[in-house]
Structure 1
Amino acid sequence: MAEVIRLVIVDDHAIVRQGLRSILEREPDIDVVGEASSAPEALDLVAATRPHIVLLDLKLSAGSDVAGLALCGRLTQATPAPGVLVVTTFLDQRLVLEAIQRGARGYVLKDVDAVALVGAIRAVHRGESAFDSHSASMVVKSLSGPAPGPAGPDLTAREREVLTLLARGLSNEAIGRELYISATTAKFHVGNVMRKLSVSRRAEAVYAGSKLGLI
């Protein structure tokens, strides 16, 4: 049997938390182990329950629309660190990229349908990145900025292809199908890309690659 995904919901609106819980508890491989409405509550809850995934809203207080960004950074620096999937109403290129910088593995809007949300949760649990079509377009838009010059790491043509497919959120298996190589070979190339970019997460590789003009 597949491992049950332990999940915490962090949102300042009780009705949103209850709605997410009611949707996710229908899935046999997802166990909602707790809810939090603020950063302090979330940190205590995550420390106590050690979830695999945290669903995180960016707005956690009346005074700030992006208080969740700071919490995202603290969660992803913890040991063990949960996978953070941002679920929010805010669509802004800066926020998407900053969430990635702070360790988020995915970013979806609250109007995402239940099937796509569950798919994103499972993808993050597998160590993949997960973006809905809106946030993915923000990432792609960031890739169109000017290249900073030749100082970046020396990626092979194949590794650049792999990096481009990572930006689309593809798994190793999907990358293999796109490039007509095995999933094992795709995983090898992904590992080389992350090593050369000095990152540990796939989403960070996309962000670093975009900043270096490699895509």
Structure 2
Amino acid sequence: MVIPDAQPDQVRIVLVDDHAIFRQGIRSILERERDLKVVGEASTTGEALVVVSREHPTVVLLDLKLSIGTDTDGLNLCEQLTSRHPEVGVLVLTTFLDDALVVEAVQRGARGYVVKDVDTTELVRSIRAVARDESAFDSRSAAAVVRSMRAEPAQTVLTERESKVVGLLARGLSNKDIGARLYISETTVKFHLRNIMRKLNVSTRTEVVYEATKLGVL
């Protein structure tokens, strides 16, 4: 379902959830905010890919369990969306709260993770944060990420592709050259670097290489 006529200055949102009643309720809540506009809905991976490609949203609100029926449906879709549309921010909105799921969602490219019983104010704040290219986690999912970062070495936190990006970065390659070596766009390289910096808690390319070396990624 497509809801047209969003204004250019609004945060454009696509809802991906297999329960129509839930989507209707969320849309009703979000559209009370003048800067938020739901431009599309989907209940399956296929529908979501089509709607996102057509509507170019700022943020995708994504449930992890879609109509196929497994927790991994949403994770797989998250990875596809962030790979094909790195400019789109994926915010997981789900009933599932499990450390492994939170961490994997981040690894697959999600910028945020909130549980469905979150209050309206925090949900709206999270959407706006993701739209600004920032991370957004409720207190429980944030705790899961912290526990994972403490418990696991960096090489298990970074994806295989991210580790390759770090390796090429350490050799002094530019974003353009890294993209050429990995057969991905320069925009996608920037997306991976942003995730790497977030996961390693650093803010510069030099710090990425230093931290990756210290933690055994290189």
| Aligned match of 2:194 | 201
In the aligned structure 2, how far is the partner of 1:143 from the partner of 1:5? 31
| 2:145 aligned with 1:145 | no
Equivalent residue number for residue 103 of structure 2: 97
- TM-score, normalised to structure 2, is 0.69
CA contact (8 A) 1:75 1:81 kept: no
Report the counterpart of residue 30 of structure 2 in structure 1: 24
Whether the 8 Å CA contact 1:2–1:29 is kept in 2: the answer is no
Q: 1:65 offset after TM fit, Å?
A: 2.3
Report if aligned partners of 2:154, 2:200 keep a CA contact under 8 Å in 1.
no
SS in 2 for 1:119: helix
CA shift for structure 1 position 13? 0.5
Aligned twin of 1:66: 72
CA RMSD in angstroms, aligned pairs only = 2.6
Q: 1:148 to 1:61 in 2, by over 3 A?
A: closer
Q: Distance in 1 between matches of 2:86 and 2:103?
A: 23
How many residues are treated as equivalent by the alignment? Answer: 165
1:34 maps to 40
Instruction: Give the percent of matched residue pairs that are identical in Structure 1 and Structure 2.
Output: 56
Q: Pick the structure with more helix per residue.
A: 2
Equivalent runs, 1:21-170 vs 2, <5 Å: 21-79=27-85, 81-145=87-151
Moved segments of 4+, more than 6 Å: 210-214
Give the gaps of 5 or more residues in structure 1: 150-197
Q: TM-score, normalised by structure 1?
A: 0.70
Q: CA deviation at 1:78?
A: 1.4
Asked if the contact 2:11–2:59 (Cα under 8 Å) also holds between the matched residues in 1, the reply is yes
Q: Structure 1 residues 146 and 69 mapped into 2: Cα distance closer, same or farther (>3 Å)? A: closer
Unaligned residue ranges in structure 2 (runs of 5+)? 1-6, 156-190, 203-210
Mapped contact 1:10–1:36 kept (Cα < 8 A): yes
- Secondary structure of the 2:65 match is coil
